[in-house]
Amino acid sequence: MEIGTMEGIGGRLAVAGIVMIACLSPLSSRAELSPLAPEPDWSALDAFQETMTREEFVHWVNTLFSPDGSFWKFTIINGNEVTLFADKEHSRLLYRLRLAPDVDSQLPLRATSVSGWRLAKGGTSSTKPLRGLVICLDPGHIGGRWAKMEERFFQIGSDPPVIEASLNMLAARHAAKLLESAGATVVWTKRLFEPVTTVRPSDLREEALVSLFPSGGPSVLPASFSPELERRIVREEERLFYRNAEIRARAEVVAKLNPDLTLCIHFNADKWSSHPTRAELIPQSRLVAFVHGNYSEEELRYDDQKWDFLFKLLSRTGIPEADVAESIAKQMEATWNFPPENYSNWAAARRVGPSPYVFARNLLANRIYRGPVVFIEGPYMNAQDTYDRIIAGDYEGTRIIGGRPYRSLFAEYGEILARGVTAWAAGSTSTVVSH
């Protein structure tokens, strides 16, 4: 999940074996970058000059990327030129984007430029409908000895523990077999219950201090930390590690693999107590699939998020993301028949498209993974309708659970993903752009 907006400072951070240069600034300064984000290369967006009309650009801003209008506070659009600024006062210029005056004059989107992925449709073979597609599976969270740190672990009495990373991996393995049998090349961001990033929590102390003391500087920081405050600092180091450095390391993997589609696979949950009981299980699961978009004004304060905004919009990832999410949502509803999430009182997520299950949200993975990304939240781990099926584990055939025969929940999840992607590919009309 996306970590909240925080002030960050730089240093050299080795992420997935790659040295990232973050914003170099003293502890007391206010960062203009998201936590651990590299300085954006604005010249890289030049490949998108005049590849989109003003009409299309405005449409995507207003309907998907910034429905509340926050983006326009940082920009001036004059004719076919968009001027982007770092601040709402328009005092620091970041970038100028030229839009095509009309469809006939717009330049083609080149996959060999920045994006490097295809607006792809599936193969023509009825037996291998996904032939030629590279699909990346991203099982959410680290798991293993890191699961409790991630707060993705709970256990009720003597029942088997519920570790979300393990559940995500089981569903991903089932999906992989089915996607490969349909002709896809399946690649992974991770296969083990170990971090992809080489950064560890203790490496992020300075960034944790900036998060907790955004005003910064020796005059603000205490001479020594109480045990309680030290625990808060350590906890912030951990959050930056598993919610940020880990996702950024996986983004480097995705960039190297260059997939046509990435599926971020998760199970959902409501809050649980430190010592949960069966009486605390919520009555019913809800389902959601996230596509990228819906930037808030607070998020757009950061230069890197403005860059990501333009990159995602101009590379047109929203087209396949929406189509794949809608297709998977249909399969989720048909198989599980759980209701969709309801985010009517939460501005971070906004429903987009015809399906009540598909929402736009500015998650870190959706934002920095290159190419189309769909983030799927499966059933609730702590819901009455799925808990017993989850602790039953993965198995073949059916088992009697609560007096009814059930197939493996993880096999069903994998089938939902594979059927959704296959149905999308079979019906896709997207233009193929070769690698």
What pLDDT digit, counting tens, does each position of 55-101 carry?
A: 999 999 999 999 999 999 999 999 999 999 999 999 999 999 999 99
Residue 217: predicted pLDDT: 57
Q: Is the pLDDT of residue 263 over 70?
A: yes
Cβ atoms 371, 114 nearer than 8 A = no
Q: Mean of the pLDDT values across residues 34-41?
A: 94
Cβ atoms 178, 414 nearer than 8 A = yes
CATH architecture of the domain formed by 110-427: 3-Layer(aba) Sandwich (3.40)
From CA 232, how far away is CA 226, in angstroms rounded? Answer: 10
The residue among 22, 5, 4 whose CA lies nearest residue 13 is 22
From CA 430, how far away is CA 309, in angstroms rounded? Answer: 21
172-214 confidence digits (pLDDT tens): 999 999 999 999 999 999 999 999 999 999 999 999 998 888 7
Helix (H) or strand (E) holding 404: strand 404-407
pTM for the model: 0.88
136-167 confidence digits (pLDDT tens): 999 999 999 999 999 999 999 999 999 999 99
386-399 confidence digits (pLDDT tens): 999 999 999 999 99
The residue ranges of every structural domain in the chain are 110-427
From CA 87, how far away is CA 94, in angstroms rounded? Answer: 9
Q: Bigger pLDDT: 308 or 120?
A: 308
From CA 218, how far away is CA 233, in angstroms rounded? Answer: 16
What residue type is 260 in one-letter code?
D
The residue among 335, 344, 328, 334 whose CA lies nearest residue 377 is 328
What residue type is 416 in one-letter code?
I
Q: Mean of the pLDDT values across residues 105-129?
A: 62
Q: Mean of the pLDDT values across residues 376-385?
A: 97
CB atoms within 10 A of CB 145: 9
The residue among 305, 415, 413, 322 whose CA lies nearest residue 362 is 305
CB atoms within 10 A of CB 347: 10
Residue 17: predicted pLDDT: 35
Q: Is the pLDDT of residue 10 over 90?
A: no
Q: Bigger pLDDT: 8 or 134?
A: 134
What residue type is 223 in one-letter code?
A
Q: Mean of the pLDDT values across residues 102-109?
A: 88
Question: Is the Cα torsion angle 398, 402, 404, 410 positive or negative in sign?
Answer: negative
Residue 18: predicted pLDDT: 32
Listed ranges 26-40, 204-218, 239-253; the one with the highest mean pLDDT: 239-253
From CA 340, how far away is CA 349, in angstroms rounded? Answer: 13
* Location of structure tokens 């399969």: 331
Percent of the chain at pLDDT above 90? 78
E strand intervals along 164-275: 185-188, 261-268
- Tokens linked to 210: 């900036």
Q: Mean of the pLDDT values across residues 221-242?
A: 90
Q: Is the pLDDT of residue 121 over 60?
A: no
Residue 218: predicted pLDDT: 52
- Tokens linked to 406: 């059930």
**Mean pLDDT over the full length of the chain:** 88
How many residues appear in the chain?
A: 435
Q: Is the pLDDT of residue 19 over 50?
A: no
Max Cα-Cα span within the chain: 69
Please, which residues bridge with residue 350 across strands? 360
From CA 307, how far away is CA 356, in angstroms rounded? Answer: 29
Listed ranges 13-17, 22-26, 120-124; the one with the highest mean pLDDT: 120-124
317-370 confidence digits (pLDDT tens): 999 999 999 999 999 999 999 999 999 889 999 999 999 999 999 999 999 999
From CA 235, how far away is CA 225, in angstroms rounded? Answer: 14
